[in-house]
């Protein structure tokens, strides 16, 4: 074989190897699953419980990227769930995102990360270390989240009103003039005379206002708990 022929053979082998690498890279590329457009919504289900009759769970998966997971422990002697807000009711809230590689929704807040698999347009499955499936079914008739719960956030009070930024979700709400609004203003004047943003703990609930075409949420402070001027989330 002449040197010219040898050179051509080596070049052809190199090009063949590169082409093979390209095919392998394409074959091994990670598959991505786009988020279902109709994923946000309210889902409810009943989970098994080791020390109670069952856990009634409701997940508000909001379009703004935040979530609320309410879990109510049903006592063995109970025939129906108690009112939300009882000691047997717990809440998890935070932000959610879509993992395209795993094809799952990821819930992040205080506590461990939770993952939600999409079974179909109407059903989700909470990933847990249990052989028993934890399934949530879409509840199209469920109302917006309006439970009363304790919130930590940064509050600011001006002559025009008050605003509250919840620490875990990062959501900011105008504070309604109802409920304990006057007490919130009074505590700001007493503890925070310079009017700076202050870490505040309140017990409250959300209300939706608007005419249907344009709506917004406001925070109703049901009870003032504490304020720490000069401190933020």
| pLDDT at residue 83, as a whole number | 44
Is the pLDDT at 193 greater than 90? The verdict is no
Answer whether residue 225 shows pLDDT above 90.
yes
Q: Token pair 């990933």 is at which residue?
A: 127
55 with 92, same domain: the answer is yes
- Which spans in the chain are helix H? 3-28, 181-191
Q: Inform me whether the pLDDT recorded for 176 exceeds 50.
A: yes
Domain assignment of residue 25, yes or no: no
> Are residues 127 and 186 located together in one domain of the fold?
no
The lowest-confidence range among 4-8, 29-33, 210-214, 216-220 is: 4-8
Per the domain annotation, does 71 fall within a domain?
yes
DSSP string, 151-177: EEEEEEEETTEEEEEETTT--EEEEPS
SS3 91: strand
> Which token pair is 37?
């457009």
Distance (Å, rounded) from C-alpha 221 to C-alpha 6? 84
Structural domain range at position 221: 149-229
Same domain, yes or no: 164 and 217: yes
116-174 pLDDT per residue, tens? 999 999 999 999 988 899 999 999 999 889 999 999 999 999 989 999 999 999 999 99
Look at the pTM and tell me if it is higher than 0.75. Answer: yes
Residue 169, domain member (yes or no): yes
Examine the fold and report which residue of 138, 162, 186 is the final residue of a domain before the chain moves on.
Answer: 138
User: pLDDT tens digit string along 48-86?
Assistant: 988 889 999 999 999 999 999 999 999 866 444 444 445
Length in residues, the chain? 233
Whole-angstrom distance between the N-terminal and C-terminal Cα of the chain?
Answer: 76
Task: Specify if 69 maps to a domain.
Answer: yes
Give the number of domains in the chain. 2
The pLDDT value recorded for residue 88 is: 87
Closest CA to 36 of 95, 114, 123: 123
If one counts every other C-beta atom within 10 angstroms of the C-beta of residue 151, the result is 24
Q: Is residue 198 part of a domain?
A: yes
- 115 vs 99: CA distance, rounded Å: 9
Do 169 and 217 have their domain in common? yes
CB 233, CB 167: distance < 8 Å: yes
- What per-residue confidence (pLDDT) applies to 28? 55
Q: What is the pLDDT of residue 50?
A: 83
DSSP, collapsed to helix, strand or coil, labels residue 219 as strand
């Amino acid at each position: 074989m002449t040197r010219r022929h040898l050179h051509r053979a080596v070049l052809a082998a190199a090009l063949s190897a590169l082409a093979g690498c390209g095919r392998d890279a394409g074959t091994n590329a990670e598959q991505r699953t786009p988020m279902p457009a109709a994923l946000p919504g309210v889902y409810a289900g009943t989970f098994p419980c080791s020390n109670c009759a069952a856990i009634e769970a409701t997940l508000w998966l909001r379009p703004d990227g935040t979530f609320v997971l309410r879990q109510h422990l049903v006592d063995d002697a109970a025939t129906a769930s108690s009112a939300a807000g009882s000691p047997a009711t717990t809440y998890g809230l935070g932000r959610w995102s879509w993992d395209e590689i795993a094809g799952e929704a990821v819930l992040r807040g205080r506590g461990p990360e939770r993952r939600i698999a999409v079974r179909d347009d109407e059903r989700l499955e909470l990933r847990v270390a249990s052989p028993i499936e934890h399934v949530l079914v879409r509840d199209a008739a469920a109302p917006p989240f309006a439970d009363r719960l304790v919130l930590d956030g940064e509050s600011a009070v001006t002559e025009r009103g008050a605003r509250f930024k919840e620490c875990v979700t990062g959501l900011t709400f105008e504070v309604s003039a109802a409920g304990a609004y006057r007490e919130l203003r009074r505590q700001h004047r007493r503890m925070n005379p310079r009017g700076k943003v202050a870490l505040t703990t309140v017990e409250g609930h959300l209300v939706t206002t608007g005419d249907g075409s344009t709506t917004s949420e406001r925070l109703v402070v049901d009870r003032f708990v504490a304020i720490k001027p000069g401190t933020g989330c």
